[in-house]
Every structure is written in C-alpha cells, then in structure tokens.
Structure 1
C-alpha cells in the first residue's frame, strides 16, 4: 500500500512529516507520496512558486527512502483535483493500493470535493485524528476501525487513525519568518537553511 499526502507544503514542516510517518508505521505502507499542489481548489494560492516549494520538499525528505516527492500535480495545468491525481497514479501503478491521507478538517469538507464518490472508488481514506476525537461525520457506510481491512480490498474504506498532533501551521511559520523570528524545531533544519539561503518568506 502507498500513502498519498497532498498539500501546498508552503512550507513543509514536522506537522506534515510526523503524522505521515505515524500512518506509515501503523499501516506498514511501502512509501508515502508527497504531492505538492499547483492550484488547490479549496484553499488560498500558495505563497511560494512551485519550484521553491518543490526544493523545500526535497530538502525535507530526500534522506528518507520512505518518502517520495511526486510532481504530477505541478506538471498539470489548471486546478489540482485529487481525482485526476489518483487516476494518473492508478494508470501508472495498476496493482497498487492507495491510501489518501487527510486531516480531520479536510475530511469534514470531503463531501464538497470534486467527485468524492469516484475518489473512494480509487483509494482508501485515512483520516488522521487527534487522540479522542469524534468519529468522522460523513460516509459512515465506508467506515472501518480495522487497519488490516485496507489490505483486503482495493479501495473504498475510511479508516480514522489517531496520530501525533503537533500544533504547527505553515501560516504561523511564514509569519515568524516575515517578522524576522526563527521557526527552528518546527521544520527540518535542511528546509530552514534553504529558506534562509533563498531568502524566502521575507517581508519588504
């Protein structure tokens, strides 16, 4: 099974990486694909260019073989729809099972996404939750609490999974950098060093 974590990654930080690693270890995923979005339909346009966000992603994970940066959404024009990405992945790797990793907030809006039922035909959803958080509010007919069930069918299940919660936000990191403060220990040192070298997120 392969985990798919999409995002603007503006910038990538430990909140992304630690939760993804929790899922990988719990489910025994072969790898985690980090998929940076070019033009996300449900959030503001990224601050940095695709090239800069991609460079920060590589700085974060190139030393860890469990993570792989997947650029197919950056290479495609128009809105970054998850369904298109999953169709492309399925075409490339027909024998693999895909698990789409979502935070609880993202999942709560999943029913408003572009063709959500078709997404569930192509992948499982893993809803990364805070410990003790309530059950997902939608798609109860797809819910399972058995991680092993994801290996028994190709797609269509939704697994709530408690993960380490680090209260880190990319917005907060950008604000700190814009104010001249250090976000060290919130993101990998290699990412912070590249931000400094390229003078990213600076105000004025």
Structure 2
C-alpha cells in the first residue's frame, strides 16, 4: 500500500482548553512530523457532567488556536451538532467514510484512556477505523501491563512512526511526549476559589473566562 499522510485527531471537552493540551499537540506534531491535527470538540460527553456550553468552549478553542504561529490545528465541530452523547466510534465511522478506506487516521489518547478502552462504547472497534497515538499521563505507565490484555496490545504495537502512514488503521504507537501537569479540572477549581491561573492557559482564553464570568 502506498504511503499517505497521517491525519491525527484529538478529542475532548476542552473545558477550558489549556497549555497542557496545546503543548502536547505541538510535541506530537514535531515527533510524528504531522501536517495537521484536528480537534474534535465534544458536545455531550458520555462520562462526565455537562461542561460549559459548546459555543463557549468553541470560542475559547478558537482563541487558543489563534495564538499558535504554525497553523496546524483545526477544529471539527461535527459532534456539537449531535443531540445525543458523543460516541467516539461513531465519529470515526463518519471520518472513515469521508477520508476513504486508505487514508491513515490517528486518534490521540492518554495512557489512562487506553486502560479503559474496553469499557468504552464499542471501544475496541476503533482499531478497525484508526491508529491509536498514546501519550503518557502521570502515574499510568506502570499500570499498562497489569490492566491491558498483553497479547491484544503486542499484536498492534509499533515503534516505527513511519508504519502509521503505511496502513490506514490498526496500530498502537506510544508517543514519547512530555507530561504536562496541567488539568482542566484543576483550572476550574482555581477559578472557583479565586486563585491565579497565569501560565496554565493562553492569555486570550483567560480574558474570555474573566469577561464572561465562567467557572465561578
């Protein structure tokens, strides 16, 4: 099969988007020489309480992207138009139809998400639709061999970034990206408690949060 460019997708509620998200994507872009990363903004996440409105989170995401000089990030808003919970496998079914059977697609997740993949709605079916680009998360590395089916994992692991462009789906790649100790939940707590969030998220996003009185 001929080589195609890998298109990577990064899903989340981005409630709010912060430097942990942004620096991770920049690191992954450089590591895998990605031409673009597409952000899948969740509308109604199945596994947590409703976040800020979609329009507010979309506005913050657009502000954050505008601060990045290299315009490799774009936003896919399809999940915002659903009235039902956003199941990742359904989104990737749509993406696969749009990109065709031969285009390599990658889904960026953390180690913690890999550990719970079997509990997702048709989570393992994602391997038929995309590659998994797994990024480290604090405290999860040592748990992998205990909680993931070793044979299932070993049959799909690759250490070769080039392999991700040689087939459309089915591989798991552990990306050696830095770990950023920044979380949206901590930022929301800081805002509720009136503590500073300087250095944790872009200044334009901070200004938006203050202007609209979010997370109080």
TM-score w.r.t. length of structure 2:
0.87
Which residue pairs with 1:4 in the alignment? 9
Does residue 51 of structure 1 match 2:65?
A: no
Which residue pairs with 1:168 in the alignment? 182
Matches within 5 A, 1:37-186: 37-41=42-46, 43-64=47-68, 65-94=71-100, 96-129=103-136, 133-134=141-142, 137-138=148-149, 139-140=152-153, 141-186=155-200
Asked whether the equivalents of residues 18 and 201 of structure 2 are also in contact (C-alpha less than 8 Å), the reply is yes
Q: Distance in 1 between matches of 2:171 and 2:162?
A: 11
Q: Distance in 2 between matches of 1:53 and 1:169?
A: 15
The answer to which structure has the higher helix fraction is: 2
Please tell me the root mean square deviation across aligned C-alpha atoms, in Å: 1.8
- Count of residues in correspondence between the two structures: 201
Asked whether the equivalents of residues 112 and 137 of structure 2 are also in contact (C-alpha less than 8 Å), the reply is no
Asked whether the equivalents of residues 3 and 24 of structure 1 are also in contact (C-alpha less than 8 Å), the reply is no
> SS of the residue aligned with 1:74?
helix
Q: Distance in 1 between matches of 2:182 and 2:173?
A: 23
Gaps of 5+ in 1: none
Does residue 20 of structure 1 match 2:61?
A: no
Deviation, structure 1 residue 130 = 5.1
Q: Distance in 2 between matches of 1:184 and 1:199?
A: 16
Deviation, structure 1 residue 126 = 0.6
| Stretches (4+) displaced over 3 A | 130-136
TM-score w.r.t. length of structure 1:
0.92
> SS of the residue aligned with 2:10?
strand
Q: Distance in 2 between matches of 1:133 and 1:51?
A: 35
Q: Distance in 2 between matches of 1:130 and 1:83?
A: 22
